[in-house]
Structure 1
Amino acid sequence: MATDRRDRTPTADPPATDDEHAAHLERSRRVWDRWSDWYGTSESDFEPIREAAIDRLDLQRGDRVLEIGCGPGVNFERVRRDIGAEGELVAVDYSPGMLENARARIEAHGWENVRVLRADATTVEFDDPFDVALATLSLSVMPDIRRAAETVYRSLVPGGRIAVVDIRSFPSGPARVLNPLVRRFLRWYANWNPDGGVVDALATVFDECEVVDTHMAGTSYTVVCEKRDAG
């Protein structure tokens, strides 16, 4: 079901302090540097879900695309194929290890219109706006998910959209009894932010959001949001 920002009273978790924010970023850097050389072993696991999410963006040749939390660049080839040499893909990640692999992927394919930037997605700024944005398995590990969503919102043109693929604990059913273990595992494995509320944060920031797909007993989902305002 679609939700409209203007129909709700915005709610959000209290923002992290500067020290908490910095500590979370540093843990993320260590965690994702650790996994940077092994991420490819699971690259295919979410490929159908990622591909379906990118389909939702209806990318056109010449589009300018922002990817938040690009990791080693698993989405680059598909996005680059859709936007062609006329478009541009700018990808942001905080892990030097992940970005090293992303740059190697770019160089191996000779993509001159794909570039990566090491930055905190909650504070990074861009000179020119983007037509669409993408975040796959990344927002839920951000230290401040709402601020990351606000970054994307500011960076999109009016009418721009973001497709987000992410994970959560079991939302319903008897498997919910496993959620404490799921949260602890994801915290260890990915520096997951269990209190961030990706869908709620996106719905608070964007003018319209809709969860369009769920998978794996609801623990994986795709949400598409749109910026309608000029703001």
Structure 2
Amino acid sequence: MATEQRDRTATGTSRSDGQYEAHLERSRTVWNRWSDYYGQSERDFEPIREAAIDRLTLEPVDRVLEVGCGPGVNFERIREEIGADGELVAVDYSPGMVANARERIEAHGWENVSVRQADATVVAFDKPFDAALASLSLSVMPDVRRAVENVYRSLVPGARLAVVDVRPAPSGPLRVLNPLIRRFFRWYANWNPDGDVAGSLEAVFDTCELADTHFAGTAYTALCAKRAAD
């Protein structure tokens, strides 16, 4: 990707303002609805999420950003890696998810874990991060490209981003079911049919690879990195 593209400031969205706001409000409604019923997804994707965290090769004292944290299902594993001297900052747009995530933090007494209710596409931070995780979240953003650009800007040089997400079947006989898969993703998670997570990651980050696939390719893990400082 050209430097000017990578460094550009997101000044607009690829969707109209009305579409953007409508998508955000649908996300708030959908994820508030699921905020108390996340257990099945938590169990089904747990090995995939933990493998993605392993790929970040986190170190004690690292500062980590989680984009779309939901009820905080990744907090314990990330904190095991960064220790009490690291810091985890998480963002989610759903008030219900944020409330559940904060309850999890309070129950464990994690003083170095915090959650902000915010739109990950535009949220700003005081200090950059050493690594980031986006687990089942980027594809439901109202503007995927801007969300990816915002994560890129929020990372230190050399930092990694691990992404776990879903998509229609990319190949094979399951593709015949893609219309149904798209409808299900839209209903269940307010999936953005206009978003292109893989394309946005490849366009914005300096390196990006498809690290693993799951469930006949409908779920995947991508590992991306920001160029190290010269």
TM-score range with shorter-chain normalisation?
over 0.9
Could you tell me whether the CA contact under 8 Å between 1:131 and 1:161 is conserved in 2? yes
Note the 1:1-231 alignment, pairs <5 A. 5=1, 15-228=14-227
What's the CA shift string for 1:80-120, capped at 9, x where partnerless?
01000100000000000001100000000000000000000
TM-score, normalisation: structure 2: 0.94
CA distance in 2, matches of 1:28, 1:17: 17
Query: For 1:221, what is the secondary structure of its paired residue?
Result: strand
Query: For 2:171, what is the secondary structure of its paired residue?
Result: coil
Query: For 2:44, what is the secondary structure of its paired residue?
Result: coil
Contiguous gaps of at least 5 residues in structure 1: none
CA distance in 1, matches of 2:172, 2:44: 24
TM superposition shift of 1:228: 0.4
Which of structure 1's runs of 4+ aligned residues deviate more than 6 A?
none
* Equivalent residue letter for 2:135: T
Could you tell me whether the CA contact under 8 Å between 1:145 and 1:201 is conserved in 2? yes
CA distance in 2, matches of 1:195, 1:213: 23
What's the CA shift string for 1:115-139, capped at 9, x where partnerless?
0000001100001000000000000
Could you tell me whether the CA contact under 8 Å between 1:69 and 1:92 is conserved in 2? yes
CA distance in 1, matches of 2:194, 2:172: 20
CA distance in 2, matches of 1:173, 1:60: 39
Higher relative contact order (CA 8 A, sep 6+): 1
TM superposition shift of 1:194: 2.2
Could you tell me whether the CA contact under 8 Å between 1:207 and 1:229 is conserved in 2? no
What's the C-alpha RMSD, in Å, of the aligned pairs? Answer: 1.5
CA distance in 2, matches of 1:194, 1:60: 36
TM superposition shift of 1:163: 0.1
CA distance in 2, matches of 1:27, 1:228: 35
Could you tell me whether the CA contact under 8 Å between 1:73 and 1:101 is conserved in 2? yes
What's the CA shift string for 1:124-177, capped at 9, x where partnerless?
000100000000000000000010001100000000110000000000011101
TM superposition shift of 1:195: 2.3
What's the CA shift string for 1:42-90, capped at 9, x where partnerless?
3110000001000000000000000000000000000001000100000
Contiguous gaps of at least 5 residues in structure 2: 7-12
* Equivalent residue letter for 1:146: R
Corresponding pairs, count: 222
Q: Percent identity?
A: 71
* Equivalent residue letter for 2:83: G
* Equivalent residue letter for 2:199: D
Query: For 1:44, what is the secondary structure of its paired residue?
Result: helix
Could you tell me whether the CA contact under 8 Å between 2:65 and 2:90 is conserved in 1? yes
